[in-house]
Structure 1
Amino acid sequence: MATSWPKNSPGPGRSAERLAERITLMSGAALRVEVFGAGDLLPPLEVFDGVAGATVEMGHSAAFFWRGKMPASVFFTAVPFGLTPDEHAAWITQGGGQGLWDELYGASGVKPFMAGNSGIQMGGWFTREIGSLADLQGLKFRIPGLGGEVYRRLGATAVVVPPGEIFAALQSGLVDGAEFLGPWSDAAFGFYKVAPYYYWPGFHEPNGTGECLINKAAFDALRPDLQAIVTVACAAEAAFALAEADWQNAQRLKWLVEEKGVQLRAFPPDVVDRARMETSAVLDDLAARDLMSAKILPSYRTALARAKEWSRVGRGAYLAARDG
């Protein structure tokens, strides 16, 4: 298994390790999975190609890294102002999302699974305060996926940097800000040491699905019981990782603020409002120039419309009542 994460890094790095351990144990070592960290076997942003070309049988990464070769891949990690982790899982497992994902990756000979989740993300780390939309003009911001395109339309310069290189990019001034995951993983990478302002909400990435990639020919060659073990192990990690992220993020956010002096800030309303407006145009433009995106977007929007009403009267109303 090649991964896009530094080996054993909190969050997705640990997901890759647990997934390998579960598959090996559950199969009685009929399948033995060895994990390679980012750059150990393949460059972090070439994991998909490695699986597709059978350089490795498996990979662990995030779908939006493949946007350059497959624009529609972004739907399977995060869409700005889109589905939350629970809502995304409902679309994948109940709303036809998995079939569309299989079709998209299947053209390259890859079988995808949800196999981890870092939860709702933070907005990112900045070396200076963001007081209004004007402060984003010309700002160099590390951000992949559709979120990067939204930020470009807000006036920022979106830069794609592999996770293991974000700290150095912030420290050197290559970027003025960077988003990665949530407080747990972000703290482990030490971003607070070079960028004191930590912004919310993470409207660009409301879901953090980690994906397991398997060479389709290798997967199809497995016995049915081994295929089932891989499938169940991925589902188990998707659930476990989300619970872990929620638990650890709460603890680490408190630590960052109270012990490390991190300045927690809310994005100004004009930034959020403009980003929401631009997101719809970004999605329409994506569908206009890419056939698979045009096929997937209606399914995604249907799932979002369905989820929003229930989330409003279910989770949203309850959280408002709980908080008083």
Structure 2
Amino acid sequence: MKRRKFLKAAALGTTGTVLAAPMVNAQNAKTMTIVSTWPRDFPGLGTSAQRLAERITELSQGAIQTEYFAAGERVGAFDSFDEVSSGNSQAYCAAEYYWVGKHPGFAYFTTVPFGMTAAEWNAWVKFGGGQDLWDKLSGEFGLKGLACGNTGSQAGGWFNKEINSVDDLNGLKMRIPGLGGSVMTKLGVSTVSLPGGQIYENLVSGAIDATEWVGPYNDFFMKLYEAAEYYYTGGMHEPGPALSIGLNASWWSSLTDWERAIITAAANEENAAQWDEANALNGQYLQRLVDDHGVKVREFDDDTWDAFGDAAAEVYEETREHSPLAAEINDEFQSKLREIGGFMANFEVKFTTQRNRVLGLD
């Protein structure tokens, strides 16, 4: 009995140490400036980042006061990396594959062609060694990355003409970033990487013929249907794209264990929330795109998928040749993809395939 009482008391004491907030006043509160690659109040990506910023302040009971700046309000969307790496701001909210110009390894910490789904990627990062590799890469640029969102499998994109074969891709101008863009380049597509706030105007003006963005929920509010009527279902390029909060490494190291735990907890919470939100809303917004705006939903044929696969294999080999770290990240990723993905294929996928067949969901 005494031993049980002692263990209970010890546990409560430990919990109290971890969860107890410091005495906060205006003088000892820390300011955390967050810059974003997303437009303000943009449904899905933008609102998720804003929700995360608010949650950090809320969870810390004011000990960490966040200042949030949407794309263009403090720096341009693609200037966020240098803004935080230099220490001018403490964090960014972005997709890591925006930084492949800095190092191609960053792509694996958002998504890569024929890569991991959201569930697989989270498993790899949290329990399969992915975070260690992410830390190794980000540390070379004075950063620390944490997962803070996922949109799930993304649409293959918006096109102003039907893609009936891989030949129809040749000569198109398309907005598509990351290694997915490299795959499309090998198939004759002229690719560009544009921040979200510039996609609509470029598509409407004809500066680009096609674009990928996210999925029905996010895409609905971009009004991309006004410029492209063909919408392709799940693409090869982003099977489970993660979003990140990238923190200045020196600032992160200056925080107490409690402050780092607060930021990590808020990021983990939003990582789940954004994915749940996308899954909850994508179905109804896909229906609205079709019913309200006459969008024509299509899928790529098997020959086009095979061409994607051949091009992706070339891109992976070229990525490995960049540097020893790029090769290490790719090889570890591919190994875990086969381990985790193999299990998912034999359990989750087999179940959903048969469920969809029985219930007529496909």
TM-score scaled to structure 2, two decimals? Answer: 0.88
Alignment partner, residue 107 of structure 2: 74
Alpha-carbon offset, residue 221 of structure 1: 1.1
On the 8 A contact 1:24/1:33 being kept in 2, the answer is: yes
The residue number in structure 1 matching 2:253 is 220
Percent identical among aligned pairs is 38
Match of 1:299 in 2: 332
Determine if contact 1:126/1:198 at 8 Å carries over to the other structure: yes
Give 2:195's match in structure 1, choosing from 156, 162, 168: 162
Do residues 91 (structure 1) and 124 (structure 2) align?
A: yes
Does residue 277 in structure 1 map to residue 325 in structure 2?
no
Cα displacement string for residues 69-117 of structure 1 (whole angstroms, at most 9, x for unaligned residues): 1111000001101100000001101111001101101111111000011
Distance 2:126 2:194 in 1: 31
| 139, 142, 146: which one aligns with 2:179 | 146
State the alpha-carbon separation in 2 of the partners of residues 46 and 291 from structure 1: 27
Aligned residue for 1:242? 275
- Return the match for 2:73 from 40, 54, 63: 40
Q: Which amino acid in 1 is paired with 2:168?
A: D
CA distance in 2, matches of 1:290, 1:36: 34
Deviations 1:186-210 (A, max 9, x none): 1111101111100122111101211
Higher relative contact order (CA 8 A, sep 6+): 1
Alpha-carbon separation, structure 2, partners of 1:312 and 1:213: 32
Q: Which has the larger radius of gyration?
A: 2
Runs (4+) of structure 1 moved beyond 4 Å?
Answer: none
Counterparts of residues 202-213 of structure 1 (less than 5 Å): 202-213=235-246
Match of 2:360 in 1: none
8 Å contact kept, 1:72–1:290: no
For the residues of structure 1 that align with 2:68 and 2:347, how far apart are their CA atoms? Answer: 40
Offset, 1:308 = 2.2
Match of 1:6 among 39, 59, 73: 39
Under a length normalisation based on structure 1, what TM-score does the superposition of the two structures give? 0.98
What whole-Å deviation, never above 9, does each CA across 1:16-56 have from its counterpart, x for those lacking one? Answer: 11111111011111101111111111110111111000111
- Which residue number in structure 2 is paired with residue 191 of structure 1? 224
Letter paired with 2:253: D
Report the equivalent of 1:31.
64
Unmatched 5+ stretches in structure 2: 1-33, 358-362
Aligned residues: 324
Q: SS where residue 203 of structure 1 aligns? A: coil
Instruction: Report the RMSD for the aligned CA atoms in angstroms.
Output: 0.9
| Distance in 2 of aligned mates of 1:225 and 1:164 | 36
Report Cα offsets for 1:181-234 as digits up to 9, x if no partner.
011111111101111100122111101211001111111111111110001110
> How far 1:289 moved relative to its partner?
2.1
C-alpha displacement at 1:283, in angstroms? 0.5
SS of the counterpart of 1:33? strand
